[in-house]
Structure 1
Amino acid sequence: MPNYPDSIQDLEPLSGLYIRKRFLNEVRAFLDQKHPQGWCIVAIDIENFKLFNDWYGQDSGDHLLLKIASYLRNLHREDNYIIGHFSADDFFICMPDDGHKLRHIYATIYHYIGKLEQDDSFLPSIGVYRIEDESQNVSTMCNNAQIAASSVVGKIGNRICYFESGMTKKIELKQRILRDARHGLENHEFIFYLQPKCNMATGELVSMEALARWQKSDGTFVSPGEFIPLFESSGFITRFDMYIWKSVCKTLAAWQDKGRKLVPISINVSMIDITNIDVPQYLSMLTEQYHISPEYLPVEITESVFAESNTIVKNTITRFHKKVFTCSWTILAVDILL
């Protein structure tokens, strides 16, 4: 990879690294000419990067990308790695399969992020695809590296993952479940049960929690432990949660119209929801539409890896409170009560 390629159109405008097409061509030429042994394709991205831009501004996001790009260019100059920047926070490297070097790449990018964000809200994800058949399509190699990177989303421990053939079958299974889920929403297969919360001293019902369930058209149930993590990793969780939130509001409105005493029904909000939509504004709109006081729709922000001190959680809770919603955060534990 030359420092100054012949054509500017081969470079990503922000970072100055190879665009996707040029990267694929350079890797293909390298493999055909050099026949390297023990090399790999590495995919790098930043978890929740869109949210990073939302919270800290486009300039801060661009600054981070430029720092990463500058570091990766140094890797080329020092070690002659082939570097690409496909879009946003998606970087790719063709390099020797060197665990020590991979850990150093992760630690460096983690350090850059840490200068801007002091908790583990935004972590690098690194996926590695070992090149064992150099005749394979380079685009497929990159896709496999991305699949490996996606497998560490939501984890705090080891954030470097190698591609395994079984990952593709898992992806196919997930896609079938997501296809069925889209049909399930259209056919109203998703329902919620109410788990009561009572005063231990008096036995009085004080609130309830909405527990989402998927009952398919044939009467069988799909365990929440099977579909909730998949919905979160795919982003489908937001569409699903919006459906459940609206169903809960409809139920509260129906009780209110019949003159029944209302008790709060708590709903779950995930970090993915907060990334995808303006949740406080959306729930405020729902309570106004169904003429329900926000006090009857307490919110629990559920997350398995983010700490209570997380900036995103704290800011979102503040916004909920301003709209008179009761809000808390909790460690995510997928319930399996059917």
Structure 2
Amino acid sequence: RRFLMEQLGKVLSMARRRKFMVAVLFINLDHFKTVNDSLGHHAGDQLLCDVAERLRQSVRDTDLVARLSGDEFVAVLTDIHTPDDAAVVADKLIDTMRSAFTVGNLPLTMSPSIGISLFPGDDTTVQGLLRCADTAMYHAKDSGRGNRQFYQPGMDVHATDVLQQERQLREAIASNAFVLHYQPQICLADGSLKGFEALVRWRHPERGLVGPDEFITFSESRGLITPIGRWVMHEACRQLKAWQDEGLAMVPVAVNLSALEFRQRDVAGEIAAVLHATGLEPRFLEIELTESVLMHHTGQVLETLNAIKALGVGVTIDDFGTGYSSLAYLKRYPIDKLKIDRSFVMDTPQSADDVAIVTAIIQMGHSLQLKTVAEGVETAEQKELLHRLGCDLVQGFLVSAPMDAQATQRWMSPQG
């Protein structure tokens, strides 16, 4: 970064004297985190080196390529004649990335999102040009990723929005402006209630209730996921214990843990503390993890999962089938349930391919003595198919939409 700033400063000084145009390309690799989560950081580092080499080969010797941080690169194009020259290079970079990389004998393709700023039109300073290109890059991501966008006046509103959302989220954490909704899971064999999934909602000051898809990933990127995750677990356990004290819900509640939370926290220790504080028996808590958590073949992952199981808490793999799984983890780690991702359920029974995938997951689960849960079940036909295939549990709008605590209690009550 320091070298880039120095060299870009020299390029701009020369551009002022000789009156030529300079383009700054801010390049971010889309979904690079998935590579680290799935294949490990060594594979990610190798991929970054290969990307850097392709970037260097795609520009002139007089141009400059630098890696800023993580999966962010900058290319400085010196002495260009028109904005179209920058567009041509950006398009070339995107095409170059579409050819497969080989990482650990696996072919991988990457798509970059590229933001472009121009000297002297957009800004005349090093910091200003980088900021404009960075802002344009976010607009490229918002436009579907894998494309390039020139900086336009007014794009900076995006950066302001990010800062405002971070401020509002910090305020929400300070004031516990969250609420849990609960979606029931029922047994296909007899229709009995077998559990709930706890789903967090943010009581947004302007937009009302906001779902997790709109703020969980953002909170991870801003370092705010830990306090939210702690609140969710404590509140889910507290509420379930309160229902049980009234003679309701003698079933487990499932709480989602992100890969980031799992790696950064003493998860087992915190779960034990929450169970002690709320008085909930461990058998009534389940932790839902995505496959990406288990892709790190480390002793820490196994140690943490064993510690969770030693407490008596269940472990479920969420969104099963959507990760870069080798399936080896199914025998390596102590797992209780596989949750069939809704993307495989939604087009059944019409889609023969999806039926085949769902069938394979259920059969594999049975072979490994794992329960299977289908999410996103919305039609009687889907439910009938899953029953015929031997799926154990279902959740989805056919059973019930997620409900707040009051509505959930009414749903459970005999008179409800």
- Could you tell me the TM-score, scaled by structure 2's length? 0.58
Q: How far apart, in 2, do the equivalents of 1:64 and 1:281 lie? A: 28
Take 1:251 and 1:323, find their aligned partners in 2: how far apart are those partners? Answer: 25
**Residue 44 (1) aligns with residue 33 (2):** no
Measured in 2, the distance between the counterparts of 1:155 and 1:325 equals 37
Deviations 1:102-130 (A, max 9, x none): 2221232343645555466x643322224
SS at match of 1:166: coil
1:194 to 179, 182, 186: 182
In structure 2, distance between residues paired with 1:19 and 1:155: 31
Q: Secondary structure at the match of 2:176?
A: coil
RCO higher in structure (CA 8 A, sep ≥6): 1
Identify which range, 232-241 or 86-95, moves more after superposition.
232-241
2:236 counterpart residue number: 248
Residue 283 of structure 1 deviates from its aligned partner by 5.1
Q: Which residue of 2 aligns with 1:310?
A: 323
Q: 2:113, 2:141 within 8 Å by CA — same for their partners in 1? A: yes
Q: 1:310 to 1:135 in 2, by over 3 A?
A: closer
Structure possessing the higher radius of gyration over alpha carbons: 2
* Cα distance, 1:297–1:153 mapped onto 2, change above 3 Å: farther
In structure 1, the residue matched to 2:250 is: 262
1:1-338 alignment runs, 5 A limit: 19-37=3-21, 39-47=22-30, 49=32, 52-53=35-36, 56-76=39-59, 78=60, 80-95=62-77, 96=80, 97-111=85-99, 113=101, 115=103, 118=107, 123-131=111-119, 133=121, 136-153=124-141, 158-198=146-186, 204-215=192-203, 222-224=208-210, 228-233=213-218, 235-236=221-222, 238-239=225-226, 240-255=228-243, 260-269=248-257, 273-274=258-259, 276-278=260-262, 284-289=268-273, 290=275, 292-293=281-282, 296-297=285-286, 299=288, 301=290, 308-311=321-324, 318=330, 322-324=334-336, 327-330=339-342
Give, in angstroms, the shift of residue 197 of structure 1.
4.2
User: Does the Cα contact within 8 Å between 2:114 and 2:136 map onto a contact in 1?
Assistant: yes
Amino acid of the residue matched to residue 210 of structure 2? P
Partner AA of 2:288 in structure 1: V
Q: CA deviation at 1:301?
A: 4.3
Specify every segment of 5 or more residues in structure 1 that has no aligned partner in the other structure, as ranges. 1-11, 13-17
User: 1:31–1:330: structure 2 CA closer, same or farther, 3 Å change rule?
Assistant: farther
Identical positions, percent: 18
**How much is the aligned-residue C-alpha RMSD, in angstroms?**
4.3
What is the Cα deviation at residue 244 of structure 1?
1.8
- In the TM superposition, residue 47 of structure 1 has moved relative to its aligned partner by 4.1
Using the alignment, how far apart are the partners of 1:155 and 1:295 within structure 2? 43
After TM superposition, give the deviation of residue 138 of structure 1 in Å.
Answer: 2.0
Q: Give CA deviations for 1:236-257 in whole Å, capped at 9, x if unaligned.
A: 4633344323322333345556
Secondary structure of 2:27's aligned partner = strand
Hey, what's the Cα distance between the residues in 2 that align with 1:307 and 1:206?
A: 20
C-alpha distance in 2 between matches for 1:302 and 1:149: 29
Partner of 2:309: none
Deviation of 1:182 (Å): 0.9
- TM-score of the pair, normalised by structure 1: 0.69
Deviations 1:88-109 (A, max 9, x none): 4322112254434322212323
Aligned equivalents of 1:301, 1:53: Cα separation in 2: 14
Letter in 1 for 2:20: P
Q: Which consecutive unaligned segments of at least 5 residues does structure 2 have? A: 293-318, 344-374, 377-400, 405-416
Cα distance change, pair 142–337 in 1 and its aligned pair in 2 (3 A): farther
Question: Residue type of the partner of 1:191?
Answer: V
Deviation string, structure 1 residues 254-293 (Cα, Å, up to 9, x no partner): 5556765432333445xxx32x232698654444331644
Counterpart Cα distance in 1 of 2:402 and 2:115? 31
Task: Report how many aligned residue pairs link the two structures.
Answer: 308
Q: Which amino acid aligns with 1:73?
A: R
